[in-house]
Amino acid sequence: MNQPVSVLIVDDSSVVRQVLSRELSKQPGIRVVGTAPDPFVARDMIVQLKPDVVTLDIEMPRMDGLTFLRKLMKYYPMPVIVVSSLAAKGRSMAVACLEAGAIEVVPKPNESYSIGDVAGQLAEMIRGATRVQLKARVSTTPTKVAATTSLAETTHKVVALGASTGGTEALRVVLESLPKQCPGIVMTQHMPEGFTASFAERLDGLCEIEVKEATDGDWVVPGRALLAPGNRHLKLDRDGARYVVRIVDGPRVNRHKPSVDVLFESVARIAGKNAMGTILTGMGNDGAQGMLSMRTAGSVTLAQDEASCIVYGMPKEAVKLGAAQMSVPLTEVSRHILAFAAGTLKVKAA
């Protein structure tokens, strides 16, 4: 009697690991030998368990799946099936995964693609995986797209908010209107040290989403808003394919620490087209140049309109500089955030 094909599931979501393990174990001829939450754990489990096939997610902490796939194929080639929201047919990430050596790419379950569909399709691929001529699938000269896509593309979106005078009320209006399914938010409000923690706690009690004063290394995830602590700059960064925040010291920028420009510049560099920047009421010009960098990087950029501002300083400077693509009333900002998240936002000139 033929031995079942042994499978290792690699995904940072405990729910996905549990569901895939359960559903694949129901399939004839397949045995799930383990699950791993990230590539570093997976590496040790592959050496220990020697699975026949690995299923691999792309968006994971510490190291993204595409980078791990390339390392695996270089040092320990084996059949890998990518299971990821990024791996829809026809997308550049799917091509990059195949060029890196994946046997096939399968999208994660969604509204139109049930876990049953995924498990059935995966089972067929897994059973046939051991017969694949692996060397023929491995590209020894990755294309430019394959070499860069792991950090350029993600399903995660991030929203950056900047505010000053009048911003405490403006942020409350925006955040109170957002559901838990909203994108992760990073925000800088000009506020002295010692006040930001209590302000974040107050907002957290009023809002459906989680609001907290940011600490270094916090993940930027849906339904969470992270506020720059007083007297420190807040920057967006990556940990593998995850967005995280960095809390850094340094000189004042535009007379402020935290500075909106510092935040926006980091978001432009790290998130680019996956980001939305909004500059709210405030005095001065902090944030205008950083928002221009965001717009140049492909981000969506908004300014609060003059009629709804307490002080039309920062938004005005962003509009004058050509950084803001459009101006909207304060009460419309949350709706635009959700439209951006859904991919349905239509940009109108500021």
Radius of gyration of the CA atoms of the chain, in A: 23
Return the residue matching tokens 């307490």.
310
d(CA 242, CA 224): 14
d(CA 185, CA 155): 15
- Which residues does the annotation mark as catalytic? 164, 190, 286
d(CA 269, CA 249): 19
Concatenated DSSP letters for 156-216?
Answer: --EEEEEE-TTHHHHHHHHHHT--TTSPEEEEEE---TTTHHHHHHHHHHH-SSEEEE--T
**Number of other CB atoms surrounding residue 95 within 10 Å:** 17
d(CA 100, CA 141): 9
**Any residues with CB less than 8 A from the CB of 133 and at least 6 apart, and which?**
none
3-state helix, strand, coil in the chain (%, to 5): 40, 20, 40
